[in-house]
Amino acid sequence: MSKTWQVYLSGEIHTDWRDQIEAGTKAAGLPVVFSAPVTDHGSSDACGADILGAEDNEFWYDNKGAKVNSIRTSTLIKGADIVVVRFGDKYKQWNAAFDAGYAAALNKPIITLHDPDLRHPLKEVDGAALAWAQEPAQVVRVLKYVIDGTL
Amino acid sequence: MSKTWQVYLSGEIHTDWRDQIEAGTKAAGLPVVFSAPVTDHGSSDACGADILGAEDNEFWYDNKGAKVNSIRTSTLIKGADIVVVRFGDKYKQWNAAFDAGYAAALNKPIITLHDPDLRHPLKEVDGAALAWAQEPAQVVRVLKYVIDGTL
Amino acid sequence: MSKTWQVYLSGEIHTDWRDQIEAGTKAAGLPVVFSAPVTDHGSSDACGADILGAEDNEFWYDNKGAKVNSIRTSTLIKGADIVVVRFGDKYKQWNAAFDAGYAAALNKPIITLHDPDLRHPLKEVDGAALAWAQEPAQVVRVLKYVIDGTL
Amino acid sequence: MSKTWQVYLSGEIHTDWRDQIEAGTKAAGLPVVFSAPVTDHGSSDACGADILGAEDNEFWYDNKGAKVNSIRTSTLIKGADIVVVRFGDKYKQWNAAFDAGYAAALNKPIITLHDPDLRHPLKEVDGAALAWAQEPAQVVRVLKYVIDGTL
Amino acid sequence: MSKTWQVYLSGEIHTDWRDQIEAGTKAAGLPVVFSAPVTDHGSSDACGADILGAEDNEFWYDNKGAKVNSIRTSTLIKGADIVVVRFGDKYKQWNAAFDAGYAAALNKPIITLHDPDLRHPLKEVDGAALAWAQEPAQVVRVLKYVIDGTL
Amino acid sequence: MSKTWQVYLSGEIHTDWRDQIEAGTKAAGLPVVFSAPVTDHGSSDACGADILGAEDNEFWYDNKGAKVNSIRTSTLIKGADIVVVRFGDKYKQWNAAFDAGYAAALNKPIITLHDPDLRHPLKEVDGAALAWAQEPAQVVRVLKYVIDGTL
Amino acid sequence: MSKTWQVYLSGEIHTDWRDQIEAGTKAAGLPVVFSAPVTDHGSSDACGADILGAEDNEFWYDNKGAKVNSIRTSTLIKGADIVVVRFGDKYKQWNAAFDAGYAAALNKPIITLHDPDLRHPLKEVDGAALAWAQEPAQVVRVLKYVIDGTL
Amino acid sequence: MSKTWQVYLSGEIHTDWRDQIEAGTKAAGLPVVFSAPVTDHGSSDACGADILGAEDNEFWYDNKGAKVNSIRTSTLIKGADIVVVRFGDKYKQWNAAFDAGYAAALNKPIITLHDPDLRHPLKEVDGAALAWAQEPAQVVRVLKYVIDGTL
């Protein structure tokens, strides 16, 4: 039985890039299981206080949520064969860069996905990546090539 | 096929917290396999001498049993994605804190489960945890959120 | 130049067992550098809020302090050749058991130091240790034997 | 001979926060060796092409430089006991978040240093840190407490 | 689906102890997959030269065979949850002690199986083990207890 | 269920040695899943620029392709139980030697496959291998012996 | 300053092979620090009970001693660059083979030292070694070559 | 005291590139300790048989020598901060590519040093490197920049 590849899709949660990659990969018939952070922004912010108890202090409100999210994200990154990190044009997105550093220290192959105008501020992240894609379709093609060996 | 999560339930063996978490998780339809130490107190104490030979000396009687138990516990913690550690209001429970330290050194996500009045003596353990729950139902909700992404 | 041994002294902070071990080791002329958690109870509790900002919520007050302390303790345990863990007759001492678990997962040699009446609740910790001492002088003798090879 | 602590100072290169921390640490007489990325912005951008050959393509110009810089930064982070990560109010600073992720995967203690208004976008990074400081003087106090045990 | 345990049976190849353990485990209905070195003595000695080419020199004849065998044994020990090491009353059996050391360095739980009269020369191996059994039936009981939690 | 072995076939892509090994292994009924680099020379060279964008500079053209290939190769080597490395009589084949070094550092069993006249230049690679085969049929026999224990 | 090599001398304690290697290495002016188990047989057997308390049961008497010894031996092997393992013509010497396995799993270079008539029973140990010497003087020459590069 | 950098110089032994790098580094006053394989070709080939006993069979003659050399090379690469790998225009040089793979799997920064006409066959090695230099003087400049931060 051939290998099922685990691919973690880190980063931007406000556009449909994950859907595009998943649809393209499915269309290509590739044996891939995708995972990702929780992409519902509201839930992602609220999860800590909502489940574990309210917090007046904003720092601890955020801290509680971030840690609950990291139970998911750190586990999935550790289990991934490949980590795709997407940077969009909005927000600070430090969590995406954090994930890239985490993956790099674990010697995981990283694919970055971002527009050319983010080239300079992302140079350290791209420097740790094995591929830089500008479009989701390119990520699908990289996965296809890497997994079944055809262009 | 989506990931099956391995969750180790460490600590207190005299209340039904494990049953509550397992029932809640099952009701939520989550793909989780739970594991735990042997929770029958008598067997857990007696296993070493009962299987491997009687001991007059109390230290070695306990030592033999503790080591047989650790074949199970160390293996299951090493294979766990998440370690939940429960502290109750009785006994020394140093084994639970030991498990938490073991999990922390392996960089496993830890969820603690205990009443607020244990806050101060558990501060080092909580400091190494990603979530502190007071009720089993909160652990179920954390698992639900972490695994299927919904609150 | 012969090896300098790094020995971490974890656990109880209310008796002079560390002083006894350090004095005995010095008298024996052994090349040992000892390290330990901060043993001033007040400072250890207050450090987080005192340095990083006050907290109204008791949990976060403790959490902040515990994490600052763990910068010290986790670093020193990771650098230790041997970890000695002392349990006294007061307090919960879950931090000591946590340290023992942390050391065990890193495959560090552990020496426990405690009275016989703690035998049963400490069986898992003793089961992970390579030596159980009842008196600080025994720890000194173990260090002497391990380092210079003489009884 | 007591331990010399290795502290890596990651992030912002346009204010004097590193000087403040180093001066404060020296004044406190602490045994710390600091390391950092190259903080001369021009050199940091130009190093790849300047040493290894010019590049017309901006991506490869940046890529070459980023990789030369990572020879330094990855080596120093791997050798660090503690990683301090500073975020300022300008630029994307994805390299700082990348370093934090890298350090987190290696289980290194992280101290973040940033203003309160960056709280929300830095929640994942702060969630992986053991301390959040708002001023360099607080970092000095954390180091002092961690190393010599006094507030 | 509950865990299937991987158990490696190292050591003596001239008695039926493996059969006894496997039969007892099967009778108990335990989810265990056993693995072992090649137990046909003739094949084990001859495999290198027989497959890869004859050798006049006895050292290289043995060396070739030992290395081919180690492709199997090192892979299976690395994948094992538990390593059982059996010492009989004949031969040098240094390969069994080597396997025990290999497993110990990987932090694998070790169960030794040998008669009491080998106690003294095996003290270092037993010192690294979590259980010492004298009969195969005891190993079965340890597995039963460890896996399904019943005596 | 017995173990399925993961075998990575590194090196020469211009002869049918992989087919011979796979056919022989299948004929022997062995539970092996083989993996390999992309063996279509043209695709392997072109993949980077073809998917991720054209490059004028030959170095970056090659660099882009090599990195995309390494997403596949590094992942598969890390997941392999055994790495077979084939050297032919043409080309530099530094990638094959690189793979051997990579596997050696990960402590993976290595089988080399090459003619006797490459003995001297391959001595370091053979020195790190557990078997040297001259013919694909010998590799099949090694796999057969290692997996089912029969010559 | 050139590297000081750490060499652990494991095994036989009844002949002067360690002295020969140390004298030869000193005469050659090599920067080597040697370490070894405690070589006083009586102390090595008695250390556990003598320091930590008498034992009636022979198994625990030996077990206590073996574990105290392993505090020394496991620490020194983990810190060694090279492990030399000597097998003599007497005793079971399973501890030596155990040390070899331990070193092999840690990927440490191993040099064996034994007479040709132990060739067959030591084939697995020799198969994991990088050199087999028959005389201490050969070990000195290997160290000289490895360290200063001259025959 | 600032860090002393360990730099391993792998590969070609027939030109004076190591001398150039060492002289340039010394002239720049950098705190670097260099290490390398034995660069005397005759000794490197003969060391195994010369020290450990003659071999008629050419394969074992080479094998013995290669393994003695690997005691040195694997130890030094494991201890290196940076690995420089030089490829010349003669010989197969598979040992250099092997060293590069070994370093890559250990996540060590790699600098390659070779002429442009080796670009294509070295693409996998260059793909794993953080810098490609064509002249030894460029390696010196990379070290200078990486260590003291100046171009």
Residue-wise pLDDT for C14-65, tens only, equals 999 999 999 999 999 999 999 999 999 999 999 999 999 999 999 999 999 9
Task: Choose, out of D3, D34, D71, D102, the residue to mutate when testing the contact with H (most H CBs < 10 Å).
Answer: D71
**CA of E67: how far to CAs of E35, E49, E63, E102, H66, in Å?**
18, 11, 6, 15, 16
Instruction: Decide if pLDDT at F138 tops 90.
Output: yes
- The tokens of A133 are what? 């894609």
Angle at the Cα of D101 from the Cα atoms of D99 and D107, rounded to 5 degrees:
105
| Residue D98: pLDDT band with limits 50, 70, 90 | very high
Angle at the Cα of E14 from the Cα atoms of E13 and E19, rounded to 5 degrees:
70
Residue D107's closest CA among C71, C11, A129? C71
Within a 10 A sphere around the Cβ of G2, how many other Cβ atoms? Answer: 10
Residue B39's closest CA among B21, B16, B59, B58? B16
Q: Which residues of D touch C (CB under 8 A)?
A: 1-3, 5, 81-82, 107, 109, 111, 130-134, 138, 141-142, 145-147, 149-151
Q: Do chains C and D touch (3 or more CB pairs under 8 A)?
A: yes
Neighbours of chain B (3+ CB pairs under 8 A): A, C, D, E, G
What's the distance, Cα to Cα, between the start and end of chain H in Å?
22
Q: What's the pLDDT tens digit per position in H116-128?
A: 999 999 999 999 9
Neighbours of chain A (3+ CB pairs under 8 A): B, C, D, F
**CATH code linked to domain B20-34+82-139:** 3.40.50
- The tokens of F150 are what? 């029969």
Instruction: Decide if pLDDT at B147 tops 80.
Output: yes
Residue H133, beta-bridge partner list: H113
CA distance linking residue E67 with residue E54, whole number of Å: 15
pLDDT mean across residues, chain G: 97
Instruction: Decide if pLDDT at F101 tops 80.
Output: yes
Residue H99's closest CA among H1, H6, H3, H9? H9
Q: What's the pLDDT tens digit per position in G44-53?
A: 999 999 999 9
Within a 10 A sphere around the Cβ of D82, how many other Cβ atoms? Answer: 25
CB of H6 within 8 A of CB of H35? yes
With a pLDDT cut of 70, the percent of chain F lying above it is 99
Contacts of C1 (CB under 8 A, 6+ apart): G4, G33
Residue D1: predicted pLDDT: 56
What's the distance, Cα to Cα, between the start and end of chain C in Å?
22
Compute the nearest-CA separation of A120 from chain C (Å): 34
- Note the helical H segments in D7-57: 17-27, 41-52
- Respond yes or no on whether ipTM tops 0.95: yes
**CA of F132: how far to CAs of F77, F116, F123, H52, in Å?**
19, 10, 11, 22
The nearest alpha carbon in chain F to E77 belongs to F81
| The CA-based dihedral angle spanning residues C122, C128, C134, C137, taken in that order and rounded to the nearest 10 degrees | -150
Q: What's the pLDDT tens digit per position in F65-93?
A: 999 999 999 999 999 999 999 999 999 99
Angle at the Cα of C28 from the Cα atoms of C27 and C32, rounded to 5 degrees:
100
Question: Are B51 and E132 inside 8 Å of each other by CB?
Answer: no
Q: What's the pLDDT tens digit per position in A87-97?
A: 999 999 999 99
Residue G1: predicted pLDDT: 57
With a pLDDT cut of 90, the percent of chain A lying above it is 97
Residue B2: predicted pLDDT: 80
Compute the nearest-CA separation of B33 from chain E (Å): 7
The burial of C139, by beta-carbon neighbours within 10 Å (0-12 exposed, 13-18 middle, 19 or more buried), is given as buried
CA distance linking residue D62 with residue A128, whole number of Å: 12
Instruction: Decide if pLDDT at C136 tops 90.
Output: yes
Q: What's the pLDDT tens digit per position in E60-75?
A: 999 999 999 999 999 9
Task: Choose, out of E45, E60, E71, E77, the residue to mutate when testing the contact with F (most F CBs < 10 Å).
Answer: E71
| The CA-based dihedral angle spanning residues E44, F81, G80, A105, taken in that order and rounded to the nearest 10 degrees | 180
Question: Are D149 and C51 inside 8 Å of each other by CB?
Answer: no
Angle at the Cα of G114 from the Cα atoms of G110 and G115, rounded to 5 degrees:
150
Question: Are C142 and G52 inside 8 Å of each other by CB?
Answer: yes
CB of H118 within 8 A of CB of H11? no
Residue C2: predicted pLDDT: 80
Q: What's the pLDDT tens digit per position in G110-131?
A: 999 999 999 999 999 999 999 9
Residue D20: predicted pLDDT: 98
- DSSP-derived letter for residue B122 is T
| Residue A55: pLDDT band with limits 50, 70, 90 | very high
Chain D environment of F56 (Cβ under 8 Å): 57
Domain boundaries, chain A: 20-34+82-139, 36-79
pLDDT, average across residues A75-92: 96
Task: Choose, out of D58, D94, D113, the residue to mutate when testing the contact with A (most A CBs < 10 Å).
Answer: D94
Contacts of E108 (CB under 8 A, 6+ apart): E77, E80, E81, E82, E83
Residue E55: predicted pLDDT: 97
Chain C environment of A57 (Cβ under 8 Å): 55-57, 60
Residue B17: predicted pLDDT: 98
* Per-residue confidence in pLDDT tens, chain E, 151 aa: 589 999 999 999 999 999 999 999 999 999 999 999 999 999 999 999 999 999 999 999 999 999 999 999 999 999 999 999 999 999 999 999 999 999 999 999 999 999 999 999 999 999 999 999 999 999 999 999 999 999 9
Chain H environment of D53 (Cβ under 8 Å): 134
What does pLDDT average to in each consecutive run of 10 residues of chain H (151 residues)? 92 96 98 98 97 97 98 98 96 97 98 98 98 98 98 96
Within a 10 A sphere around the Cβ of G123, how many other Cβ atoms? Answer: 26
Question: Are E79 and F3 inside 8 Å of each other by CB?
Answer: yes
CA distance linking residue E83 with residue F90, whole number of Å: 45
